[in-house]
Amino acid sequence: MLSQESTSNRITRSRYDYHLSEVIRQRAWVEIDLGALTHNIKQIKGLLSPKTGLMAVVKADAYGHGAIKVAQTALKAGASWLAIATLGEGIELREAGITAPILILGAINTPQEIEAIVHWQLQPTLCNPQQALIFSETLSELGENLSVHLKLDTGMSRLGTPWEQATEFVKLVQQLPHLNIASIYSHFATADDPDPTIMRLQHQRFETAIANLKTQGIQPPYLHLANSAATLTDPSLHYDLVRVGLAIYGLYPSPHLRSEVSLKSVLQVKTKITQIKTIPPGTGVSYGHKFISDNLMKIAVVGIGYADGVPRNLSNRMEVLIRGQRVRQIGAITMDQLMLDVTNIRHLQVGEVVTIIGKDGTEEITADDWANNLGTISWEILCGFKHRLPRVSVHSFKPNYNSSHLDPILTIDN
């Protein structure tokens, strides 16, 4: 048995001084291309008039991309606001030294949360009069003022005061002490649908609510309505801010919007081969033997599974990329590993890189491919990659990136 002293000596010896970026990628990781993120921000900014600001939506750890690094890059590229869903997400950004205005999209209802919002200089969403009263009372006790954003429900039937009651809601908030209205906004339910009927109805309701306010002499400082799909669809929906999430990460909310702007995927998921073996005909592979070989077959085991965010329902239904070639996955996807049919790839070696999502040569597998396969949406796929997969920042976009060779210009984000 090694003593504590001998173990310590082994760790500190220079010949064991591995580079972290190499060690951390011995199994599987997520690459975040900050160059692609910057490109997407600039492309979207090019759709906006000078008076319209870009609010980068970085909730859910920036859709699984890493909130801090994404927020820093987005602000540097031209975003002027950030949006998150929870108080904790906002605190994380402030603790990282980010000073830009941050809007909390979710509902806050307790005095403890309100006190934290004041302390961290965040900006909450108020959804109804009861919430506004709680905020005003708590702020009175704290002796603090706070900028707040009022949300109207124009057809999403989620958070927000009904648009027909907008005037009464805004007047109430105006009269309450310690509350300063920073913006009024709403959210589309179907902006990604090629049929614009419901989106147009919501837009009309929002316009009517604002017009009614103006007849009462109320001029909101900021108005915002557009998500990614609406931002790409119609400049009349841009107002003072657009709230863009999916598009800054290089995915399109709907296929019919691909012609509106050129986006580059920010996220790639990669892993390595850990074992290669040959199996005879009639051999079952993985739990339940849901796949049985019909010929002599060479298979590769790779170190990623459903505990990392690869949905088990993709078992026997997905492909990966090796050396720019598509390779089918076989057998049930397990918690930490999955198996591939690599019979047609010659001289394959343990340690070679496998692209799970991303581009290798001329071939590409996207989150949309997985979503279409599973009958879900790309948002869910992106948010599903777990944090035992380290996020590795790539600092330049390479359109012909070969996943079999690791980019040396990397930063480990977690």
Annotated catalytic, 287?
A: yes
* Beta partners for residue 340, in sequence order: 300, 329
Let me know: does 126 contact 148? Beta carbons within 8 Å.
yes
Which residues are CB-neighbours of 169 under 8 A, at least 6 positions away? 128, 129, 132, 150, 152, 161
Q: Give the tokens for residue 324.
A: 């720019």
Distances in Å between the Cα of 21 and the Cα atoms of 32, 316, 410 are: 14, 32, 7
Let me know: does 358 contact 249? Beta carbons within 8 Å.
no
> Alpha-carbon distance 310 to 356, whole Å?
9
* Beta partners for residue 391, in sequence order: 30
Please choose, from the candidates 104, 60, 108, 114, the residue with its C-alpha nearest in 3D space to the C-alpha of residue 83. 104
What is the Rg, in whole angstroms, of the alpha carbon atoms belonging to the chain? Answer: 25
Say which amino acid occupies 158: R
The angle, 0 to 180 degrees and rounded to 10, between the axes of the packed helices 129-142 and 111-120 is: 60
- For residue 164, give the DSSP letter: G
Distances in Å between the Cα of 229 and the Cα atoms of 127, 192, 234 are: 23, 5, 9
> Alpha-carbon distance 273 to 303, whole Å?
7
Say which amino acid occupies 360: D
One of 171, 214, 277, 287 is an active-site residue; which one? 287
| 158 marked among binding-site residues | yes
Annotated catalytic, 151?
A: no
- The values of phi and psi at residue 355, to 5°, are -90, 115
| 335 marked among binding-site residues | yes
One of 45, 59, 69, 270 is an active-site residue; which one? 59
Distances in Å between the Cα of 7 and the Cα atoms of 15, 16, 17, 407 are: 14, 12, 14, 32
Residue keyed to tokens 């919002």: 117
CA angle 273, 275, 279 (to 5 degrees): 125
- For residue 281, give the DSSP letter: T
Let me know: does 339 contact 301? Beta carbons within 8 Å.
yes
> Alpha-carbon distance 305 to 74, whole Å?
31
Give the catalytic positions in this structure.
59, 287
Binding-site members for substrate are 158, 335
Binding-site members are 158, 335
